[in-house]
Structure 1
Amino acid sequence: MTVAEDAPRRSRDSSKSSKPTQINNDATDVEQQHQVPPIIAKHGQLHRGLSSRQVSMIAIAGTIGTGLFLGTGRSLAQGGPASMLICYGVVGFVVYVTLLLLGEMATQYPVAGSFNAYAVRFFSPAYGFALSWNYWFNDAVSVASDLTAAQLVLQYWTTWHTWVISLIFWVFLVGINAVHVRTYGELEYWLSSLKVATIVVFIILGICVNAGANTSHEYIGAKFWHIDGAPFHGGFGGFARVFVTASFAFGGTESLGITAGETRNPSRNMPRVVKFVFWRILIFYILCILLIGLNVPWNYPNLSNRSTTTSPFTIIFQMAGSTAAGSFMNTVILTSVLSAGNHALFAGTRVLYGLATAEPTPQAPTIFARTTSRGIPLPALLATSSVSILCFGSSFIGSGVLWGWLQNIVGVSNQIAWFSIGLASWRFRRAWVLQGRPLSEMKFRARWTWPWGPAFVVIAVSVIIIIQGWSSVIPHFSAVDFVSFYIEIPVMLLFYTFWLLFHRSPSPKSSPSTLQPAVSPSAIPQPTSTSSTSPPSAFTPLLVSRARSSRWRVHDFVDVRTVDLYRDEYADEEVDVVEDKVREERVSGRWRWVWKAYYFLA
């Protein structure tokens, strides 16, 4: 075994041998140690305060929200039931593969900034700079989108100054995110639990309504697939347009990586979340989409127009014959709007914090790197929340129109995020192979996606981005729609060019003739080392490139043969070892089936 291969094992062994508490193998002693040691976090840094239970529900809350409850109405009105089912299925599979690729990197390097950091580290600092600012803007706009959606939901009961509720929601969300990451996680857990329970009820009720348990007492079946204009309403343009609303609906799964920097025991929790959460989401989405297409016609009045958007979920509850049930469903949708806004505000805050803590050169003003004693990046939180003032613009142009534009912008931004994850994974995997590290050293590996996974994501997302704006060009050009579909691309190019033109990379110390691999057998970074005065960051790609005679560059691609693959690798802490031992004893003890069911559901 080479020194390079033995280093991770030695670092893990040394970290375990230095633990102050010896864990007894006896089950009784383990139960006595269920008081998990607190995680000691330094002032000025994020705290690892999110449990596996909370991270799982955060992933669900980020995807089951306004995109599913309200966006499906817009998708049905624009493309018809068949277009909606096909597009959501295609996007769902792309996102599933993307999530597996992200899980590999997030488990190996659980850092703040997530896929933005991986793009900087393995592909290009300039591209990562553009991606990070674009995604931050995406999250900030998502908060505005969710608060605008709240006004649409409130129109079910009243049209009186609905912007007031949006303002109250905004103040509440900022307050929750300013307290502690555990407060955010617990709120997300319970709001998401309510949504999951409601969707289960909806699936059962939707089947009953379709079978005849409706106000008309008639069997519906697939008759709405055969009405005029169905099942593919709007032709190819309508079909392609649904891709962006589906991308808006599935947006948020990539934020699993953003939570990695504040997740306890990421070596175990991140793979578990990646494996199980998406299957729940996919089942929920596909079943819900199918039932909506069967029970609600694409031309239902006020399903989606300039001034309002009606949730198909509320319509189906009303079809069951209960006004109270419709109000209940609308209330759940309102809580989901609150949850989605909470999730977007959290993610945007962490992205901005990651930009400000980038090394060797911060990619945002360093004031956004400041945190409170509870680990909250307060300046980044205030900056992100201030952008949501956009929601009040709905008073002038119509809530339905504004929400549609914001939905397009956020949907395309989500697609760029998935594209970038595929790109970063492509480079990460290539670096791993070229540098000779055995695949067995990866903490999590999606075997069935090797080697085609990254290429599939990059190509599939590129095709979707290109074709989804078809209806904005043919048969008539719509400047506003075209901009909402494609504005993200020139913005990315602008930020990319800005970084190349105005940022000078530090000159390499070695000459072109003496280039050596970044990780040599005699100088392998130790994960548990405390010799450095500043914490490591995944925004620090170890670039060993040829010296440039000019600051003007066409690209700053990272050399995958020399990028440091050991930096920021997570070494298990005492709290992780204790939690793993407790879990193992529970699932193999007397009440193992109860605990297995608990861990699966929670």
Structure 2
Amino acid sequence: MSSNSHDNDEKGESTISVLQNITSGSSSPNTTTIDTNNNSNNESQGVWTSFLDSFKPVIPGETLTSMHVDDDKSLTNLQRINLNSANSNLKRKLKTRHLQMISIGSSIGSGLLVGSGGALSTGGPAGVMIGWIVMASCVYATMQGLGELAVTFPISGGFNVYASRFLEPAIGFAIGWNYFMQFFVLLPLELVACSITIKYWNHDINSIVFVIIFWVCIVFITLLGVKGYGESEFIFSMVKIVAILGFIILGVVLICGGGPNHTFVGGKFWRTPGPFAFGFKGVATTFVTAAFSYGGTEMIGLTAAETENPRKTLPKAIKQVFWRIALFYIISLTLVCTLVGYNDDRLIGASSVDATASPFVIAIVNGGIRGLPSVMNAVILISVLSVGNASVYATSRSLNSLAEQGMAPKWTGYVDRAGRPLFAILLTDAFGLFALIVASNKQVEAFDWLLALSGLSSVFTWLAINLSHIRFRRAMHVQGRSLNELSYVSQAGVWGSYYGALINILVLIAQFWIAVFPIGEAPSAYNFFLSYLGFPVLITSWLFYKIWKKDWTPFIRAKDIDVDAGRANIDLDLLQQEIAEEKAQLAEKSFIVRWYRFWC
């Protein structure tokens, strides 16, 4: 073993000793003794009593808590962030199949199925393909960097904590709250989308009735805990995947003239009205829509703290992003752009809550197939419910992480015995009732401004992940650490994160241009802030933290970055031995198996 490895062992041991001293001898978070006792007690008490008890505070000594960390005045803010996030009370109950389905289906929602219609009307078919392919490459590179960080540091909060510890806490504060706001406002928006989707079958139904019904369904699922979320997303994702695969097969048939109309479509919509709707500016408008549709891919980073075996399950889930992008997005959108012209009147004014403007539905209607549009709308309804469910998961885990870092009220970080960030979940569910504004004639304006607060959140989050990965690699280099310590290394490498950062910056520039000079409208402050309000909100959040904590450090120097707290594997000798054995076993497999394992 090299001297660097011995140094690493010493650093790992010192981190553990700090934790043990702070918690005054509390047991390791990996202990299972308490859980076993709880299970036997639960059986004797009955299901209902066990359910009620699950909402109580975590039993002292069951896991490391933040109480002693917060009271220790000798620790800096950054040290508290690192220690608290590394020792969360969240439960590791997500299995491999949960993560794989979450990675495949978490972002197949209204952004792809409905929002792509608006992008098609402004960018044209070529603009849509350029926007989604460019953002796909960006997301792939970003997710690889996130995978490396999440497998190495499977901690509560994921990417907002990475921004705090590898960049500086004020950036983590701004990114964390911006991400929270993105999904916080998404729940009522998706509930409204559900009620509007129902109107596809009956316009006389009162929207409020279905807002309440869908809200109750989501509240029920979210209170089941992380395992309930995993199981529900597994089912939702299966439905979405089957539907997209079915549409791909149907699309090929319709293009070749195999539909009831027997009309050969070919590439006529690419010729007339043409590939581009509004030239380069139209193409620029597709990037943010594409980013919105890919939003949710980074949610795998939030699941790291609740995954049974992060080293083995997270890499598989991360790699699945490539297949989702290649198959479900690019192929399906290619077919949609071939079957629907960008000048179709039904696309005009398309929004993310209007399922009737879905280009997927329009393509099926144009093909003359009866019944299938209703099926596609049912899929959209399920997808919207899935996104609403995922939004509660994202906001509750983000808020819990912010509380652990001392960036949100401490009570919002309450985690019960079932591992639920209970108050964060209830707060998010309660705000979902804002969807009752659907009864008001001001609902469009209200939601427009709510979305404007975090409209660029996905881009900011991905940029923070890129920069965090770059700084982590820089810290490893400066501190003389080897990549052999990592159980998963980004396939795109550090240059992939540089590429992802560049694309995200270019998207922000393009969106600024569109915000100042919108298509078909005169420049106005109203349109600018509606499109770009997220940026001043992010800057204001960053500045607020700087003033609040009186910490004006521009960034954390590479030599001072903590690359040990929260590490999944401290015993580097054992880790490297396991990796070597796995590589030796894989080398004996056929080329097809090795190729599959590399990508999946």
Normalising to structure 2: TM-score of the pair? 0.79
Q: 1:41 to 1:103 in 2, by over 3 A?
A: farther
Indicate conservation of the 8 Å contact 1:48/1:261, yes or no.
yes
Distance 1:411 1:217 in 2: 42
Are residues 1:476 and 2:522 paired?
yes
Q: Which residue of 1 aligns with 2:394?
A: 347
Shifted more, 182-191 versus 235-244: the winner is 235-244
Q: 1:332 to 1:492 in 2, by over 3 A?
A: same
Deviation (angstroms), 1:216: 2.7
1:461 to 504, 527, 539: 504
- Secondary structure of 1:468's partner? helix
1:567 to 541, 544, 565: 565
Q: 1:288 to 1:478 in 2, by over 3 A?
A: farther
Deviation (angstroms), 1:448: 4.1
Q: Which residue of 2 aligns with 1:526?
A: none
Instruction: Give, as a single letter, the amino acid of the residue that structure 1 aligns with 2:414.
Output: R
Q: Which residue of 2 aligns with 1:435?
A: 479
Are residues 1:414 and 2:458 paired?
yes
Distance 2:434 2:341 in 1: 32
Distance 1:412 1:65 in 2: 17
RMSD between aligned residues? 3.4
Indicate conservation of the 8 Å contact 2:452/2:532, yes or no.
no
Distance 1:298 1:283 in 2: 22
| Aligned residue runs from structure 1 range 447-526, under 5 A | 447-450=491-494, 452-474=495-517, 476-504=522-550
| Structure 1: stretches of 5+ with no match in the other structure | 22-39, 506-552
Q: Which residue of 2 aligns with 1:89?
A: 133
Indicate conservation of the 8 Å contact 2:261/2:368, yes or no.
no
Deviation (angstroms), 1:600: 12
Q: Which residue of 2 aligns with 1:110?
A: 154
Distance 1:212 1:438 in 2: 57
Deviation (angstroms), 1:478: 4.1
Q: 1:471 to 1:560 in 2, by over 3 A?
A: closer
Q: Which residue of 2 aligns with 1:236?
A: 280
Q: 1:364 to 1:442 in 2, by over 3 A?
A: same
Distance 1:394 1:227 in 2: 38
Indicate conservation of the 8 Å contact 2:106/2:233, yes or no.
no
Superposed CA offset, 1:532-587 (max 9, x none): xxxxxxxxxxxxxxxxxxxxx3x4421220222111101399xx99xx99xx9xx9
Q: 1:486 to 1:123 in 2, by over 3 A?
A: same
Q: 1:572 to 1:191 in 2, by over 3 A?
A: farther
Distance 1:254 1:460 in 2: 16
| Aligned residue runs from structure 1 range 28-47, under 5 A | 42=63, 45-47=89-91
1:338 to 377, 385, 394: 385
The alignment-based identity, stated in percent, is 35
Shifted more, 168-177 versus 146-155: the winner is 146-155
Distance 1:188 1:432 in 2: 36
Shifted more, 119-128 versus 301-310: the winner is 301-310
Superposed CA offset, 1:120-167 (max 9, x none): 001010111111111100111222332232233223112322232122
1:289 to 329, 333, 346: 333
Distance 2:444 2:105 in 1: 23
Distance 1:95 1:176 in 2: 29
Superposed CA offset, 1:388-422 (max 9, x none): 34433444457777766666665511011011111
- Secondary structure of 2:436's partner? helix
| Structure 2: stretches of 5+ with no match in the other structure | 17-27, 33-60, 66-88
2:241 to 155, 171, 196: 196
Deviation (angstroms), 1:5: 1.1
Indicate conservation of the 8 Å contact 2:239/2:379, yes or no.
yes
Q: 1:600 to 1:404 in 2, by over 3 A?
A: farther
- Secondary structure of 1:322's partner? coil
Distance 2:485 2:408 in 1: 34
Structure 1 or 2: more helix by fraction: 2
Distance 1:436 1:89 in 2: 37
Are residues 1:5 and 2:5 paired?
yes
Distance 1:224 1:314 in 2: 17
Shifted more, 376-385 versus 180-189: the winner is 376-385
- Secondary structure of 1:257's partner? helix
Q: Which residue of 2 aligns with 1:530?
A: none
Instruction: Give, as a single letter, the amino acid of the residue that structure 1 aligns with 2:206.
Output: H
- Secondary structure of 2:259's partner? coil
Indicate conservation of the 8 Å contact 2:414/2:422, yes or no.
yes
Q: 1:271 to 1:289 in 2, by over 3 A?
A: same
Q: 1:246 to 1:254 in 2, by over 3 A?
A: same
Q: Which residue of 1 aligns with 2:368?
A: 321
Instruction: Give, as a single letter, the amino acid of the residue that structure 2 aligns with 1:454.
Output: S
Deviation (angstroms), 1:3: 5.2
Q: Which residue of 2 aligns with 1:183?
A: 228
Q: Which residue of 1 aligns with 2:210?
A: 165
Distance 1:90 1:473 in 2: 23
- Secondary structure of 2:535's partner? helix
- Secondary structure of 1:113's partner? coil
Deviation (angstroms), 1:504: 4.1
- Secondary structure of 1:233's partner? coil
Indicate conservation of the 8 Å contact 2:181/2:453, yes or no.
no
Indicate conservation of the 8 Å contact 2:396/2:428, yes or no.
yes
Indicate conservation of the 8 Å contact 1:211/1:221, yes or no.
yes
Instruction: Give, as a single letter, the amino acid of the residue that structure 1 aligns with 2:555.
Output: F
Indicate conservation of the 8 Å contact 1:242/1:468, yes or no.
no
Normalising to structure 1: TM-score of the pair? 0.79
Superposed CA offset, 1:364-398 (max 9, x none): 00001111211111111122233334433444457
Q: Which residue of 1 aligns with 2:82?
A: none
Q: How many aligned positions are there?
A: 517
Distance 1:57 1:197 in 2: 12
Superposed CA offset, 1:30-71 (max 9, x none): xxxxxxxxxx96497110000111011112232111111111
Instruction: Give, as a single letter, the amino acid of the residue that structure 2 aligns with 1:340.
Output: V
Instruction: Give, as a single letter, the amino acid of the residue that structure 1 aligns with 2:474.
Output: R
Distance 1:601 1:433 in 2: 27
